[in-house]
Amino acid sequence: MIILEYLNDPDLAVSLVWRPAVIGLALVLLCAVLSVLVVLKRLAFVGQGISHSAFGGVGVAAVLAVLAQVWGLGDLLAADGSGAAWIEFVIVLLFCIAAAVLMASVSDRKAVHIDTGIGLFLVASMALGGVLVEVARQAAAARGLPTSSRTWESILFGSISGASWTDAAVAWGVAIGVALTLWLLRRPLLFWSFDETSAEAFGVRTRLMRATLMVLLAVAVVTSMRLAGVVPATALLVLPGAIALRLSSRMGRVLVLACAAGVAGLLVGLWASLQFDVQLGNCIVLALTAGFALAALWNRGGSTGRGL
């Protein structure tokens, strides 16, 4: 197999196998546990909502880049270096976290359903991003200032295969941070996920749980989108949990199965990507989709897993 040829070459093994595997493992573990909560709370649309909200963050970064040059701070944000890229990433992340909190806040009002709130901020953020980018370009042109040559795609949509070891460190740092947060809040968060009404009656701060989950999802989506692309980011927040909940209804087992499904999807996707020379992110999505189909066939009657 082609993958064996890559493994026999040390340089190719690192760049095409081991580094993508390390980064992918961090991303699938980051998203797998969250995907269980996403499926339980029927928030499958949230990945699309937050990822598209990132366009607003790009617009804010573009305006700040122009202001930085006007104020004599140089091309801190407009440069094409890796430092500027990570500054843009932080700005986009903060914008998406703010959007996620606002989505949760709006949906707390009984008159607005969560998917309506997500859709509202999705279109509003995309429109705002488009307007701000154009304003930044016009302002830069009027003052004779340089503008970044980076495109929307290069800022928002990454590729695991092209990521660096710095990206791997960031991915694992985010994954560990999210895992610790989930562990500390595991009892109220799970209670709220299964029965929001009863949880509120027993004193669980349901609004805080919703806001916390939305913030964690924002962090996971933006990180996964930056390193893997928007389609894998969305899929990783839905499919592992959906697979696990088709196979079991016991929460401990579901969490283990979700992580196992994510890792299996990564391994199969990595093999298919190298074997057929196609994009890794899409291979992972297709592998997880096939996994869900197999889980559905295994549990055709729906008696084992929780209804989706």
Q: Could you report the per-residue pLDDT of 64-106, keeping only the tens digit for each?
A: 888 877 776 654 554 445 556 778 888 999 999 999 988 888 7
Q: Is residue 209 part of a domain?
A: no
Q: Is residue 115 part of a domain?
A: yes
Q: What pLDDT is recorded for position 79?
A: 46
Q: Is residue 172 part of a domain?
A: yes
Per the structure, the complete domain to which residue 243 belongs is given by 1-40+165-203+229-297
Q: Is residue 217 part of a domain?
A: no
If asked whether residues 174 and 261 sit together in one domain, one would say yes
Report the percent of the chain where pLDDT is more than 70. 87
Q: Is residue 73 part of a domain?
A: yes
If asked whether residues 50 and 101 sit together in one domain, one would say yes
Question: Per the structure, how many domains does the chain have?
Answer: 2
Q: Is residue 305 part of a domain?
A: no
How many Cβ atoms sit within 10 Å of the Cβ of residue 151? 10
Alpha helix ranges (H) inside the chain: 2-8, 10-12, 19-40, 46-70, 82-108, 114-142, 152-156, 165-184, 186-194, 196-201, 206-228, 230-236, 239-247, 251-276, 280-298
Banded model confidence at residue 256, pLDDT cuts 50, 70, 90: very high
If asked whether residues 59 and 25 sit together in one domain, one would say no
Banded model confidence at residue 153, pLDDT cuts 50, 70, 90: low
If asked whether residues 52 and 25 sit together in one domain, one would say no
If asked whether residues 176 and 293 sit together in one domain, one would say yes
If asked whether residues 147 and 186 sit together in one domain, one would say no
Point out the domain boundary residue: 137, 156, 175: 156
Q: How far apart are the first and last CA of the chain?
A: 38
